[in-house]
Amino acid sequence: MAISYLNNLNEAQRQAVINTDGPALVIAGAGAGKTRVLTYRIAYLLQKGISAGSILALTFTNKAAAEMKERIAGIAGPEVSRFLWMGTFHSIFARILRKEGSRLGYKQNYTIYDTTDSKSLIRSIIKELSLDDNIYKPGIIASRISAAKNNLITSSMYAADSSMTDYDKSARMPLLSEIYRIYASRCFKANAMDFDDLLLNINILFRDFPEVLSAYQERFKYILVDEYQDTNYAQYLIVNKLAAVHHNLCVVGDDAQSIYSFRGARIENILGFRNDYADYRLFKLEQNYRSTQIIVNAANELIEKNSGQIRKKVFSNNEPGEKICLFRSMTDIEEGINIASDIFDRRYSLKLKWSDFAILYRTNAQSRIFEETLRKKNIPYRIYGGLSFYDRKEIKDLLAYFRMIINPEDEEAIKRSINYPKRGIGDTTLAKILELTSMEDTSVWDILCRINNYPEKFNKGTALKLAGYTEMIKALSVNKDTTDAYAKAGEIAAASGIVRELRNGNLPEEISRYENIQELLNAIKIFTEAAETNGEPSNLEAYMANVALLTDQDTDTEKDSDKVTLMTMHSAKGLEFQYVYIVGMEDTLFPSPKSTGCSKDLEEERRLFYVALTRSKKHATLSYALNRYIWGNLESSHPSRFLREINPEFIDNRQPAKKTGPSFKTDQFKPRPFREETFNYKPSSKLKKLTRTENTVSSANESSDPSEFREGDKVYHERFGTGVIVSIEGNKPNTTATVEFANNNRKKLLLRFAKLNKV
């Protein structure tokens, strides 16, 4: 069988593809073609005669799985590729649990709760326990429960662990373990699992039912894992259990791009692969096909500073490219203006598209200034990772009805749909139903089906409304398994009253919601046709199983629009742009102040910078501000330590056209020994409202007039003490003075706010 596609690979890629037996670790540098290697390796297995059903390929997004499957189909044929077990960790494990979950007490039609559902249920439990939600914050509790599950700690184990319960007590949340217990119980009664349960329950299934584990170990003769550096403890255990018989495990990833520890990802999984499999083979993909030589070389210099890594030397045969621009601004507002102006100028002078540009920042809060400055220049933009299409209220309302048709025991779906459109069923009625479920240890649906048994709880009118809702759900459930998703969705949208409710609206937002419902039905139509063409299930349950497992990248509805992209550095992983602006490069922002006291955390921040820098194909710009507003006060800041870690020969200090001060001195970034005290961030005292009259000498309570000071002046500052002005830069009102205080404590101060006194 022809394997001409192997000619598209370089030698390192080829070796990673054709050596299919035994454990393999493929370290793929940024832009090194890891997706191609994974795809071709699977195609090569198929063409060697390996059965598609015995190959398991795990990814982190449905988008990645779909793209790989499409490429494989082009090589091996769709009739073969359709039998591959390929998808995200959660989708594959959800598929196994649909079949095997009855062993754990779940029905096959279980619901998958998303983050919104989980927080809603936690919020309800907090309210029922009469707890203060300012202390017991649903988001924090949800994160704590998620972390426990990802470390395979069940609610009973959590309650028995004194270190955890003691921590909760110190955080003034002594009942967190009780909330976890009730949450787990309610999910189970609702025949629902959250995302973390999919991992936890697979581990429990394999632990308690060894015959099930054995069956899947025999089935999956070849296992491939993408982005292995992003796996957490639960995923790590599952993968290694499944590979324990045949040992044909190939993991692909880049330790230099491990940036998700806050989600539970463990870099130790990829770094320790050689210890888990002594007979492993290592393949390094070191040729970067994405970026210019300068960007690749600068990124190499940066990541070289990390000690915890598998060493590699990424190179590029692309053009050398432009040097990396370094923009210095006096304030964060000026930074926004500079970036917007540069994008505007480059777009028109180089005849580019807006979508060729991306602005990357460390925290979401930084987007505001860039949004404002881009709007002022009429530059279209989008914020990546904003509200997903599937998170819009009207979409979640209709999806709640879909969930009820599939799994009527879904408590969160009942709460969302029972009184929308309005049926006169209020919170008091719901509270009574939930009280009954607790007393009788049953589900909300069970109480609704027996609502006439509680005349003392519900008057006749309320009972009729509840019964009407129940009968509607039962009627819509008829033929749900045999009717295609599009036909059933249209029926539900009409019968529920949602379409009528939105169609009658005249306000712009109501019209937009109606159009979103139409768009959802369009998406279901596309799903139905594709499923029928591929011979896959096309009913509503199949559609909802797909939707429930979509990731942020899968629900990016604006990916084809011609707009500048704004996003966090974390969100940028896996993407690429022609021109990238990495902003807020200051020690108070990046690295995150929380990381500076821990070398492990600091190394992850450096990996995050590496990821951000390697998103750029043609050109990268780094930007920082000397002063930034924090809580309404203008605070001075210093350039990020990471800037000093890039060789100055890769840096161009050219400033934007509308600069307000002299260009930055290159030697400020020459490598030199790191001094920790240089980066100890001490917020300045709050600035008071300043007033000044003409010809008034500045005092300790007034701002400083820049024209009063000269280099060499001896000055006094109420916080830093006595010092000498070393240099003065910039024009009014952004004149700054560099002052040498005692103990070599050098500060750069904006004179109009510095409150300096001549001594």
Residues that are catalytic:
34-35, 226-227, 257, 615
The answer to whether 646 and 672 are in contact (CB under 8 A) is no
Percentage helix, strand, coil for the chain under 3-state DSSP, each rounded to 5: 50, 15, 35
Here the tokens at position 709 are 């000071």
Are 108 and 406 contacting, i.e. CB atoms less than 8 angstroms apart?
Answer: no
- Reduced to 3 states (helix: H, G, I; strand: E, B; else coil), residue 602 is helix
Nearest to 364 by CA among 103, 589, 679: 589
Q: How many CA atoms lie within 13 A of 656 on its CB side?
A: 25
Residue 447: half-sphere exposure toward Cβ, Cα within 13 Å: 27
For strands 736-741 and 745-750, give the pairing: antiparallel
Quote the CA–CA distance of 581 and 566 in Å, as a whole number: 10
- Cβ atoms of 293 and 320 closer than 8 Å: yes
d(CA 441, CA 753): 64
Of 195, 223, 259, 312, residue with least CA distance to 21: 223
202, 104 contact by CB (below 8 A) = no
What distance in Å separates the CA atoms of residue 58 and residue 223, rounded to the nearest whole number?
A: 8
Please enumerate in sequence order all residues whose Cβ is within 8 A of that of 25, keeping only pairs 6 or more positions apart, or say none.
251, 270, 273, 274, 280, 281, 282, 283
Dihedral of alpha carbons 450, 456, 458, 460, sign: positive
- Please name every residue paired with 283 in a beta bridge, in sequence order, or none if there are none: 26
CA–CA dist 350, 346 (Å, integer):
6
The arrangement of strands across the sheet holding 714-717 comes to 745-750, 736-741, 721-729, 714-717, 757-758
Do residues 404 and 414 make contact, with C-beta atoms less than 8 angstroms apart? yes
What is the rounded CA–CA span in Å between residue 724 and residue 740? Answer: 5
Region of 584 (left: φ > 0; alpha: ψ -120 to 50; beta: rest) is left
What is the residue type of 202?
A: I
Report the Cα–Cα distance between both ends of the chain, in Å, rounded: 87
Structure tokens belonging to residue 680: 């100890």
Tell me the C-alpha distance between 143 and 163, whole Å. Answer: 17
Phi-psi group of 252: left, alpha or beta (phi > 0 → left; psi -120 to 50 → alpha; rest → beta)? beta
The alpha carbon of 95 is separated from its chain's Cα centroid by a whole number of angstroms, namely 24
Q: How many H-runs (helices) and E-runs (strands) does the chain carry?
A: 29, 21
Distance CA 381, CA 358 (A): 9
Q: Are 366 and 339 within 8 A, CB to CB?
A: no
CA 683 to the chain's CA centroid: 29
What DSSP string describes 698-738?
A: P-TTS---GGG--TT-EEEETTTEEEEEEEEES-TTS-EEE
CA distance 412 to 408: 10
d(CA 140, CA 651): 41
